[in-house]
Amino acid sequence: MQTLKPKPKARPFCLSVKGHVKLLRLALAATSMTLFILAQAPEPYIVITGFEVASTFFFILLYILRLDRLISCLFWPLLVFGLAASVFCIADGALIYRKLLFNPGGPYQKTDAHDKLVL
C-alpha cells in the first residue's frame, strides 16, 4: 500500500523572501518618485519611476491574489512585450549615441546681437 505524503503548504507571498524583496523594491521606487517630484526633476525621470512603481505594485497584487497559478497563459505576453521593449531600448540607445557622436557639443544655441562683444 502506497502512503500519501502531505502536500507542503505554500507560504503566503508577503511572508516569503521574494515578497519582502519586492515590497522593498516598491518602497524604494515610490520614495525615489516622491523625491523626484519634490526636487522638480525632469519629467521623464518622474514618468519612468511612476511606471516602475505601477508595474511592481501590479506584480505584487498578482502574486498576492495567486493569479499566476490560476491563469497559466498570463506570462507569455510579458515575455513578448519584454523582448520588444528590449529591442526598442537598444535602438533608442543607438540613435542617441549616433546623435551625440555627430553633435558632441549639444544643440545649437542662438545668441542675441546685444550679447556679442564689439571690438
Residues in Cβ contact with 23 at an 8 Å cutoff, skipping those fewer than 6 apart = 14, 60
pLDDT band at 16 (very low <50, low <70, confident <90, very high): confident
pLDDT band at 84 (very low <50, low <70, confident <90, very high): confident
Residue with C-alpha cell 516598491? 26
- 33 near 49, Cβ under 8 Å? yes
pLDDT at residue 100 tops 70: yes
The residue among 33, 28, 29, 30 whose CA lies nearest residue 46 is 33
Angle subtended at Cα 30 by Cα 29 and Cα 32, rounded to the nearest 5 degrees: 65
The pTM of this model reads 0.56
Whole-number pLDDT of residue 101:
79
Q: Quick one: which of 6, 11, 117 has its CA closest to 63? A: 11
Q: What percent of the chain is helix, strand and coil (3-state, nearest 5)?
A: 70, 0, 30
What pLDDT score was predicted for residue 10? 66
Tell me the average pLDDT across 37-57. Answer: 88
Q: Which residue has the higher pLDDT, 61 or 36?
A: 36
